[in-house]
């Protein structure tokens, strides 16, 4: 046998020594994505550091929903997170077990926690294991118990002591910087999360760094915050029942904008409850108007929120972003029947009692119907053009895995990790797309190459999406013609040069998404890629810099006369270098619209005809530092 053959045999030797057992904290630290989704640095609202906060707060909310404690407090100082509730407090003899023994908790007893968010006893254990420091204190009837941990390891088990503090639980933790690289909390993401807690738990007082949040009207308040009074076509319909609450209106926007929740958990990827709502809403409207409207005409422009509470919800992953198959009660009706019966009765009654709202709703449906019929012929020709353009070979370098692929019965967690990572880069020109294509992960990353500058589509109808070849092919690449349900990529990343032309193309693409697919932006799917502006290096080290300040710091670190390169376009960055900027540490900026901001007003201001107001804004915000060289 050759030496290489012997080496191969040893490499693939499978015996008792190959079998390893990991304890709970080792497994969580080895596979953190299984428990908290993507890691990230805090620049995205679904990054792991926010999931850690949510896991602790969820326990506080469960106490509130059970009728214990009306206030939850969250304090963040630098990287130290402290959460305090005023519920019953963890039983003192079980404080250590609850935060450090997997599959341990009261939520296995459905009598204690009837309709909780977390049922599998993992949440606080994951926070503990992924924190460089973790401290928990429980207070019950004048006594307290405290335990301290480092990366899941118990370092100090305090004895029970007397206290004058009120009942409840307090958890402090510091996310481990060896797991979450260069992370930073962005308070606007946390505040959005806090508002959701308040909307879903009317009357709850949530205090974040001294600022109080409270909602009196639940999902009605949520929709009022998510929309603008100028946008909606009729007053928000707000309906409440046992274990279900919905709020509904329509705007002039395209697409559907539905916010769904289960037991207080924001299910950003929807699930059986959201699908049940979509189907039941269509059926109820058809029955009310006694007309077989097309489902897309009924739902186009809808903005809605639906919240349900169920016993033992089944989520498709530990991050709980999508609800699986579940009955409302253990032996109760299916989700489809439950939501269908509720809307058939309550929405139908509401529309009969409010004829003005019913009339406005009917006019919005008929407007969608007219627009759809006008587009029918154009869409057919556009789809044929897309096929002739041989989309998947010329414009789109596709990936092997897609966001809407069917979840397998085996390897589910690995699948969900890949699903989160699916990304399409929208680039300008062949050189930039060529570099990204060579550097990308072909499993989960795709590249779409634009030709020239896109059209400024502000003020145009959706007809232009089908008549304009670039827009039509981009729509097909994303698979968003019918809305978010069949979106093929979880992350849509605009990757343009950092020069004037690149910025202009970026702005035109943003306009395209806001004008025709605003729900893609509202549901935080669109990003802008951040690539380095400078490369600073000497013979020993290379530093990539994303700003003038970073460049100056790098030059100071590397000593006298380092080589400085200014990247003027993405095509100047080699594929080998690009691999560092579109990998796990990718820096991308989320495209966001402020809560309640009117999208059409926003577009009119920035993309409409030049107005004195916009000219004044540009003049007032144009800052040129004459002492700083523009390029090296």
pLDDT at 43 over 90: no
Containing 160, the helix (H) or strand (E) segment is none
- The answer to whether 293 and 285 are in contact (CB under 8 A) is yes
Q: What is the mean pLDDT of residues 332-351?
A: 90
Q: According to the model, what pLDDT value does residue 15 have?
A: 55
- The per-residue pLDDT for range 358-403, each reduced to its tens digit, is 999 999 999 999 988 888 777 777 777 766 665 545 688 899 998 8
- Residues 6+ positions from 490 with CB-CB distance below 8 Å: 403, 419, 420, 421, 422, 423, 525
- The answer to whether 135 and 146 are in contact (CB under 8 A) is yes
Handedness of CA 382, 388, 389, 392 (dihedral sign): positive
What is the C-alpha separation between 506 and 498, in angstroms, rounded? 10
Question: Helix 355-388 and helix 335-353: axis angle, to 10°?
Answer: 130
Degrees to nearest 5, angle at CA 399 with 393 and 405: 120
- The answer to whether 53 and 81 are in contact (CB under 8 A) is yes
Q: According to the model, what pLDDT value does residue 163 have?
A: 94
Measured in degrees and rounded to the nearest 5, phi and psi for residue 106 equal -80, -10
Output the six-digit token pair for 335.
Answer: 């989700």
Q: Compute the residue count for the chain.
A: 632
Options 3.40.50.1360, 3.30.70.60, 3.40.50.670, 3.30.70.20; CATH of 389-531+569-621: 3.40.50.670
Options 3.40.50.300, 3.30.230.10, 3.30.70.890, 2.60.120.260; CATH of 219-369: 3.30.230.10
pTM listed for this prediction: 0.75
Three-state SS at 368: helix
Output the six-digit token pair for 149.
Answer: 């941990």
Q: Where are the domains of the chain?
A: 27-213, 219-369, 389-531+569-621, 534-566
**Terminal alpha carbon distance of the chain:** 59
Three-state SS at 43: coil
- The answer to whether 310 and 115 are in contact (CB under 8 A) is yes
Max CA pair span of the chain: 87
Distances (CA, A) of 298 to 365, 426, 553: 5, 32, 56
What is the C-alpha separation between 368 and 53, in angstroms, rounded? 42
Structure letter (DSSP) for residue 327: B
Q: According to the model, what pLDDT value does residue 632 have?
A: 38
* Nearest residue to 57 via CA among 182, 165, 190, 219: 190
27-213: CATH class? alpha beta
Output the six-digit token pair for 136.
Answer: 């928990």
- The per-residue pLDDT for range 539-562, each reduced to its tens digit, is 889 998 888 899 999 999 998 889
Segment of 22-31, 109-118, 491-500 carrying the highest mean pLDDT: 491-500
The larger pLDDT score, comparing residue 497 to residue 137, is at 137
Range name among 450-459, 467-476, 508-517, 564-573 with the lowest pLDDT average: 564-573
Q: According to the model, what pLDDT value does residue 446 have?
A: 93
pLDDT at 16 over 80: no
- The per-residue pLDDT for range 240-280, each reduced to its tens digit, is 998 899 999 999 888 788 999 988 888 877 788 888 999 99
Neighbours of 26 (CB within 10 A): 14
Exposed e or buried b per residue across 477-492, where buried means at least 16 C-beta atoms within 10 angstroms of its C-beta: bbbbbebbeebbbbbb
SS (H, E, C) 399-462: CCCCCCCCCCCCCHHHHHHHHHHCEEEEEEHHHHHHHHHHHCCCCCEEEEEECCCCCCCCCCCC
């Amino acid at each position: 046998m050759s030496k290489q053959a012997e080496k191969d045999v040893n490499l693939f030797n499978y015996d008792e020594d190959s079998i390893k057992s990991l304890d709970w904290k080792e497994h969580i630290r080895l596979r953190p994505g299984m428990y908290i989704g993507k890691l990230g640095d805090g620049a995205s609202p679904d990054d792991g550091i926010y999931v850690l906060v949510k896991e602790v707060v969820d326990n506080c909310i469960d106490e509130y929903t059970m009728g214990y404690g009306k206030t939850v407090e969250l304090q963040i100082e630098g990287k130290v997170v402290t959460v305090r509730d005023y519920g019953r407090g963890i039983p003192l003899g079980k404080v250590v077990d609850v935060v450090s023994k997997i599959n341990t908790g009261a939520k296995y007893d459905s009598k204690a926690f009837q309709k909780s968010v977390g049922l599998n006893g993992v949440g606080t254990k994951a926070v503990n294991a992924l924190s460089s420091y973790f401290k928990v204190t429980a207070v019950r009837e004048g006594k307290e118990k405290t335990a301290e941990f480092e990366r899941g390891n118990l370092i100090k088990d305090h004895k029970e002591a007397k206290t004058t503090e009120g009942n409840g639980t307090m958890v402090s933790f510091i996310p481990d910087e060896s797991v979450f690289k260069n992370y930073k909390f962005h308070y606007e993401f946390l505040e959005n999360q806090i508002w959701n807690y308040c909307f879903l738990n009317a009357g709850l007082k949530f205090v974040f760094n001294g600022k109080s949040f409270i909602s009196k009207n639940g999902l009605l308040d949520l929709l009022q915050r998510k929309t603008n009074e100028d946008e909606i076509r009729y007053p928000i319909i707000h309906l409440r029942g046992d274990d279900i609450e919905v709020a509904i209106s329509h705007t002039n926007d395209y697409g559907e904008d539905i916010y769904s929740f289960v037991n207080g958990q924001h299910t950003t990827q929807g699930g059986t409850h959201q699908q049940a709502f979509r189907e039941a809403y269509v059926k109820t409207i058809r029955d009310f108007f006694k007309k077989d409207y097309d489902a897309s005409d009924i739902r186009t422009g809808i903005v809605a929120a639906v919240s349900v509470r169920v016993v033992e919800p089944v989520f498709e992953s530990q991050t709980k972003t999508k609800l699986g198959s579940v009955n409302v009660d253990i032996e109760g009706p299916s989700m489809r029947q439950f939501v269908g019966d509720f809307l058939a009765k309550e929405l139908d009654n509401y529309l009969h009692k409010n004829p003005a709202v019913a009339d406005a709703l009917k006019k919005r449906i008929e407007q969608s119907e007219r627009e759809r019929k006008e587009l029918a012929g154009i869409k057919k020709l556009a789809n044929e053009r897309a096929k002739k353009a041989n989309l998947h070979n010329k414009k789109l370098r596709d990936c092997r895995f897609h966001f809407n692929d069917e979840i397998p019965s085996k390897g589910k967690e690995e699948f969900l990790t890949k699903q989160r990572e699916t990304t399409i880069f929208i680039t300008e020109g062949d050189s930039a797309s060529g570099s990204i294509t060579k550097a990308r992960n072909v499993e989960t990353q795709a590249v779409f190459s634009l030709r020239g500058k896109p059209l400024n589509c502000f003020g145009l109808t959706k007809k232009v999406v089908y008549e304009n070849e670039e827009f039509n092919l981009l729509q097909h690449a994303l698979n968003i013609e019918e809305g978010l349900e069949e979106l093929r990529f979880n992350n849509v990343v605009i990757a343009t040069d950092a020069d004037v032309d690149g910025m202009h193309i970026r702005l035109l693409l943003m306009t395209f998404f806001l004008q025709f697919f605003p729900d893609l932006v509202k549901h935080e799917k669109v990003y802008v890629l951040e690539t380095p502006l400078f490369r600073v290096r000497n013979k020993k080290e290379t530093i990539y810099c994303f700003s003038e300040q970073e460049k100056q710091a790098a030059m100071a670190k590397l000593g006298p006369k380092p080589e400085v390169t200014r990247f003027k376009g993405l095509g100047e960055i080699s594929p080998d270098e690009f691999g560092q900027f579109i990998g796990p540490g990718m820096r991308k900026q989320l495209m966001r619209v402020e809560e309640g901001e009117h999208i059409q007003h926003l577009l009119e201001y920035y993309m409409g005809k030049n107005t004195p107001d916009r000219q004044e804004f540009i003049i007032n915000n144009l800052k040129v530092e004459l002492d700083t060289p523009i390029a090296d």
